[in-house]
């Protein structure tokens, strides 16, 4: 198979979709069924997608020349036509017909008030066009698969759910191993609770802060809430609340945490909380469970499906419910022990190798269908020629 992978989501500070794209880059490269693998971004061929993860990769013409390869005219079009294109970030480029798109969620359409105007405009311009041209769609969960089929009117045989994976770096660690790593953040093992999330409206971090602020002072002092993640958008009021909590000593915002530091930050937490009202998969709770940390998540969208009964569930807008659940998650040793065991078992079912294999299975099915169609055209053409000759 000849495959082209879109790499628009690759950037130095990887988002969840960026992580997914990078894992596909690595996994597809070693897949024996793929004869050729090329990377595409904004009508340019990317020679080394790893360079997109470096902050200075495209900063100068000389650097761009090392990063990108250029094909023009018929050679450019031939490569697009003769390969299976996979857009892992919602859209197909306008110059591509057919291929595969990964739709991670429908939050822009279901909760437009939680997104910047520019993103809404992009989806209004490009999403319907991509759905009209796509041959198959991948989703991260069965929940989003069902939503997409209903929303876009796609038949069941054109949408496949392929769960995401968890890197081997996320695993339980001893306090001795964690102490020097966490010291970089001024933290100690088992002395904080954690939420890893971009600061954006649908993640409901404001609700979490309300619940945390209502906890007994002793609990808040012993286990402050640590927030880690990108700066996000539409969060001015949220940042004000965070600033108040930081002054009072019961919350800290670390900002974006580098990939190599995240596993230790997860593994050192007493409890992981994820109050998001809508997700396409929800990778952070699974990474926390893989790290041996009990998880408390919102009982919304795909989170019950993905956590498979291993996490405690609370309605995302139920502040009092979250407060009670947080207290239980911090001090109820019987629940904590069971949650850790269940979480580790569930996390083991998610693997990036399985994600890549499931993705390649979709490629194979689509490529086989195209081969049958091409063979039918060839046979039909020969038959017509025989009839004409007679």
Tens digit of each residue's pLDDT (9 = 90 or more) over 184-205: 999 999 999 999 999 989 999 9
Per residue in 99-132, is it b (16+ CB within 10 Å) or e — as a string? Answer: bbbbbbbbbbeeeeebbeeeeeeebeeebeebbe
pTM of the model: 0.88
Q: Is the pLDDT of residue 362 over 80?
A: yes
* pLDDT range class, residue 169, cuts 50, 70, 90: very high
Tell me which CATH homologous superfamily contains domain 175-347: Glycogen Phosphorylase B; (3.40.50.2000)
3-state SS, residue 141: coil
User: In the predicted model, is pLDDT for residue 234 greater than 80?
Assistant: yes
Topology adopted by domain 2-165+351-383: Rossmann fold (3.40.50)
On whether the CB atoms of residues 165 and 286 are closer than 8 A, the answer is no
| Cα separations in angstroms, 101 against 120, 197, 277, 305, 362 | 18, 25, 24, 22, 11
For residue 183, name the pLDDT band (cuts at 50, 70, 90).
very high
The yes-or-no answer to whether 2-165+351-383 and 175-347 have a common fold is yes
218/236 Cα distance (integer angstroms): 29
**pLDDT, mean of residues 331-341:** 98
Is the dihedral angle over the CA atoms 234, 237, 239, 245 positive or is it negative? negative
pLDDT for 310 beyond 60 = yes
Share of the chain above pLDDT 70, in %: 89
Q: Average model confidence (pLDDT) for the chain? A: 90
| Residue-range domain boundaries for the chain | 2-165+351-383, 175-347
- Please return the burial class of 321, using the count of CB atoms within 10 Å of its CB with bins 0-12, 13-18 and 19+: middle
Sheet strands (E) in the chain: 2-6, 36-41, 44-46, 68-69, 84-87, 100-103, 136-139, 159-161, 193-196, 225-228, 251-255, 271-274, 295-298, 312-314
Question: What CA–CA distance (Å, rounded) separates 375 from 358?
Answer: 26
Q: What is the pLDDT of residue 168?
A: 95
pLDDT-derived band at 373, boundaries 50, 70, 90: low
* Burial class of residue 284, CB neighbours in 10 A (0-12, 13-18, 19+): buried
Task: Look at residue 368 in the predicted model and tell me its pLDDT.
Answer: 80
């Amino acid at each position: 198979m000849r495959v082209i992978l879109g790499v628009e989501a690759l950037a130095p500070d990887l988002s969840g979709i960026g992580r997914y794209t990078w894992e596909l880059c690595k996994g597809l490269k070693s897949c024996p069924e793929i004869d050729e693998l090329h990377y595409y971004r904004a009508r340019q061929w990317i020679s080394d997608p790893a360079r997109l993860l470096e902050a200075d990769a495209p900063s100068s013409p000389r650097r761009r020349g090392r990063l990108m390869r250029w094909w023009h005219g018929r050679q450019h079009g031939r490569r697009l036509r003769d390969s299976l294109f996979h857009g892992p970030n919602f859209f197909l480029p306008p110059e591509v017909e057919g291929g595969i798109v990964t739709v991670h969620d429908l939050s822009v359409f279901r909760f437009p008030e939680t997104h910047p105007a520019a993103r809404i405009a992009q989806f209004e311009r490009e999403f319907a066009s991509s759905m009209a041209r796509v041959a198959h769609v991948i989703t991260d969960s069965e929940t989003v698969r069902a939503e997409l089929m209903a929303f876009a009117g796609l038949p069941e045989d054109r949408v496949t759910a392929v769960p995401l994976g968890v890197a081997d770096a996320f695993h339980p660690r001893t306090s001795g191993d964690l102490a020097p790593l966490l010291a970089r953040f001024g933290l100690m093992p088992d002395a904080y609770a954690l939420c890893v999330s971009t600061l954006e409206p649908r993640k409901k971090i404001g609700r979490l802060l309300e619940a945390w602020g209502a906890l007994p002072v002793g609990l808040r002092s012993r286990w402050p809430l640590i927030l880690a993640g990108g700066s996000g958008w539409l969060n001015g009021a949220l940042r004000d609340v965070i600033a108040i909590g930081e002054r009072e000593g019961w919350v800290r915002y670390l900002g974006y945490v580098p990939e190599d530091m995240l596993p230790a930050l997860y593994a050192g937490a007493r409890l992981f909380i994820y109050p998001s009202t809508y997700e396409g998969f929800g990778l952070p709770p699974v990474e926390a469970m893989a790290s041996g940390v009990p998880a408390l998540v919102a009982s919304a969208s795909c989170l019950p499906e993905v956590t498979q009964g291993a996490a405690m569930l609370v309605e995302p807008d139920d502040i009092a419910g979250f407060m009670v659940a947080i207290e239980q998650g911090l001090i109820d040793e019987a629940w904590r022990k069971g949650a850790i065991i269940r979480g580790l078992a569930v996390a083991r079912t998610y693997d990036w190798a399985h994600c890549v294999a499931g993705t390649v299975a979709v490629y194979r099915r689509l490529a086989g269908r195209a081969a049958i169609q091409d063979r039918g055209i060839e046979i039909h053409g020969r038959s017509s020629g025989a009839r004409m000759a007679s």
